[in-house]
A and B are shown apart, each in its own frame.
Chain A
Amino acid sequence: MFTKGQLRISESMVVLFVVFILFLFAFGFYIKELKSGINDKLMEERDFSNLLLINSLLNSPEFGCSKDTVIESGCLDIKKIDSYIKLNNKEFYKMIFGESVISVSGIYPDSYSYNKKIYDNAKENYDLKIVRDIPVSLYNPDTNGYFIGLLRVEVYD
C-alpha cells in the first residue's frame, strides 16, 4: 500500500504529465500552423513567379509577334518559335526560363495542327510543380494569318 505522501506525489506527477501532453499538442498545432502559413506564402510567391514567367515569355523578342519593334500583347510568332527550337540555345535561356517546361499547341481551327515544345528543362526531384495554360494568339508570317493556341508553362521548384 502507498502512503498518503506517495499518493500525493503520484497525483502531482500525473497532473504534470497531462499538462505536459496538452502543452505538447498545443506546440505541435502551433508548428503545423506556422509551417502552413509559410508554405502558403511560398506558394503565393511561386504562383506569382509563374505568372511573371508567362508575362516575360509573351513579351520577349524571342517569341512575341512584333510590329515596328513593339511586341503585340498575347501573341506568339510561330516562325520565331521554330527558329528558336532549331537553334536550340538552351544554356543562355536557362537564365530566363530556369527550371521549367514550355510548350505551345494550336487549338482552333482544328485543321491547323501545331504542337511544339519550346523549352524543356524539367527538374527531376522537385517539391513543387505549377502548371498553367494560357490561351494565346499564334501568328504565321508566311500566310499572314492568326490562329488560337494554348501556351503551357510548367515551373518546377
Chain B
Amino acid sequence: MFKKGVSGMPFVWIFIGIVGAMFLLFFIKLAFDLKNTSQDLNDRIMVLKVKDILVGASGSPGYFTKLNLPFVDGKILKFSGDNYLQIYKEDELLGRVDMGNSVIFSPVIENSDVLLWTDRWNVPFYVSNFVFLITEDKKYNLRSSTITGDLGFRELSGFIEKLKDKIPFEENVEVGGRTYIPLRSGGDAKIIMFRASNGNLNCRGSSSNSDVEIVFEKETMDSDYIYGYVCYWDKEKVPFIGKQMIYGAIFTDEYDTFKTLSELSFERLKNLVDLYIERTGDNEVLQKSFEDLKIALDKDFEDLDDSDLRKIYDAIEQLNHIHYLLVNERGKYVY
C-alpha cells in the first residue's frame, strides 16, 4: 500500500499523459488539416495557372508554340461539356474552373508537353480567337470519304491538303492512307472523314470507318465561310461555319465539348451583330446587311438546318462585299 502523500502520484502522471496525448492528437490533426488545405489551395492555383495560360493565348491570334507545363505533370486535363477545365490526378478531381468565353478545342491532355495554336474566327468580322491544344503523341488522320459525294476524289483530296497546310502541328496530322484504326475502335489515331455535298447535307453515320465525319456544301469549299455539319460517331450532327470550326472538330474528341464551344461562338457572333447594327447607324446600307445577318442567325443553334446555314452564308458574303465596297469608296473600316 502507498502512503497518504504518495498514493496520488500515479494519477498525476496518468492525467499528464492523457492531456499530453490529447494535445499531440490535436496538433497531429491540425498538421494534417493544414497539409490538406495547403494542397487544395496549391491545386486551385495550378488550375487557375493553366486557365491563365489558355485565356492569355486566346487573346493572341495567329500564335503557335510548344509549351511545357511542369505543374500538370502526372495529371490529366479535360474540358467538360459545360466548358469547364477539369484537372484530375488519376480518378481524383483536383479542381475545375469555368473557362468563360474562351474557346479551347482540345482532346484529353495527359502530358505536360503541349502544342498550342490559335486562329481567328472571322465571319466576316472578328468574333473569337480559337485555341487548339494537343499533345505531341496525338495523331490525326484526315481522309476523303470512299463515297466522295459531289466532288471528285482528286478535288476533295486537294481540299483536305489545303486544310492540313494551315495546321502547324505538322508531325501530328496526316492526310490519306488507310493504316490507322479509329479511336472509337481502340485505334491509334483520330480519323476524320471529309465529304462534299451539293445540298442535302447528311452524315453517313454508322457505315463510315471514322471518329468524326465532316460533310460540307461543295459550293463553299473555297470560301472562308464554308459551311456544313460535323458528325461525331453515334451523335447528332453539329452545324459549322468557317474553316476554324473544322479545325475545332478535328482537335476536340468530345462531342459535348465541341457542341458547347460552337454554340458559345454562335452566341457571341449574334451579340456582335447586334453591336454592329448599333454602331453602323449612320450607314443604312451596311446596317441593312448586318440586319440581314441577324435575321439569318435568328434561330436556335440546334435547329439550324441546311437552308438556315445557306442564308447565314449568303448574308456573310453580302456583308463582306458591301464592307469591301465601303472601304474602297471611303477608306473606312467598320470591322
In the complex, which residues of chain A have a beta carbon less than 8 angstroms from the beta carbon of B120?
69
**Assembly CA distance A56 to B128 (angstroms):** 11
Counting CB contacts under 8 A, is A62 at the interface? yes
Q: What mask results when residues 298 to 335 of chain B are scored 1 for a CB within 8 Å of chain A, else 0?
A: 00000000000000000000000000000100001101
A98 touching B100, Cβ below 8 Å = yes
A61 touching B126, Cβ below 8 Å = yes
**Chain A residue with minimal CB distance to B122?**
A69
**B47 nearest CB across to chain A (Å):** 10
Counting CB contacts under 8 A, is A128 at the interface? no
In the complex, which residues of chain B have a beta carbon less than 8 angstroms from the beta carbon of A92?
267-268, 271
Q: What mask results when residues 255 to 294 of chain B are scored 1 for a CB within 8 Å of chain A, else 0?
A: 0000000000001100110111011001000000000000
Cβ-neighbour of B335 out of A5, A52, A55, A61 (below 8 A): A61
Q: Count residues of B near A (Cβ-Cβ below 8 Å).
A: 47
In the complex, which residues of chain A have a beta carbon less than 8 angstroms from the beta carbon of B168?
none
**Assembly CA distance A82 to B276 (angstroms):** 11
**Chain A residue with minimal CB distance to B327?**
A68
Cβ-neighbour of B52 out of A6, A20, A27, A48 (below 8 A): A48
**B38 nearest CB across to chain A (Å):** 6
B41 touching A42, Cβ below 8 Å = yes
A66 touching B125, Cβ below 8 Å = yes
**Assembly CA distance A13 to B17 (angstroms):** 12
Cβ-neighbour of A80 out of B55, B129, B275, B332 (below 8 A): B275
B100 touching A55, Cβ below 8 Å = no
In the complex, which residues of chain A have a beta carbon less than 8 angstroms from the beta carbon of B127?
61
Interface of A is mostly: helix
**B22 nearest CB across to chain A (Å):** 12
From A83-91, A108-116, A129-137, give the one contacting chain B: A83-91
**B333 nearest CB across to chain A (Å):** 5
**B63 nearest CB across to chain A (Å):** 12
In the complex, which residues of chain A have a beta carbon less than 8 angstroms from the beta carbon of B45?
41-42, 45
B38 touching A34, Cβ below 8 Å = yes
**Assembly CA distance A50 to B259 (angstroms):** 29
In the complex, which residues of chain B have a beta carbon less than 8 angstroms from the beta carbon of A18?
none
Interface of chain B residues 189 through 235 with chain A (CB within 8 A): none
Q: A61-B126, A66-B335, A79-B279 are in contact. Are A31 and B52 (CB under 8 A)?
A: no
Counting CB contacts under 8 A, is B32 at the interface? no
Q: What mask results when residues 1 to 43 of chain A are scored 1 for a CB within 8 Å of chain B, else 0?
A: 0010110010001001000100000010001001000100110
Name B's A-contacting residues (CB within 8 A).
5-6, 9, 12, 16, 23, 27, 30, 34, 38, 41-42, 45, 48-49, 52, 55-56, 58-61, 98, 100-101, 120, 122, 124-129, 267-268, 271-272, 274-276, 278-279, 282, 327, 332-333, 335
5 pairs, CB–CB < 8 Å, chain A vs chain B:
A5-B6, A59-B61, A61-B272, A67-B333, A83-B275
Please give 7 more A-B residue pairs, beta carbons under 8 A apart, in addition to A9-B9, A31-B34, A52-B52.
Answer: A38-B41, A52-B59, A69-B335, A77-B279, A83-B278, A95-B100, A98-B100
Which 8 residue pairs of A and B lie closest in terms of their CB atoms, listed nearest first?
A83-B278, A96-B101, A95-B100, A83-B279, A61-B126, A69-B126, A95-B101, A55-B59
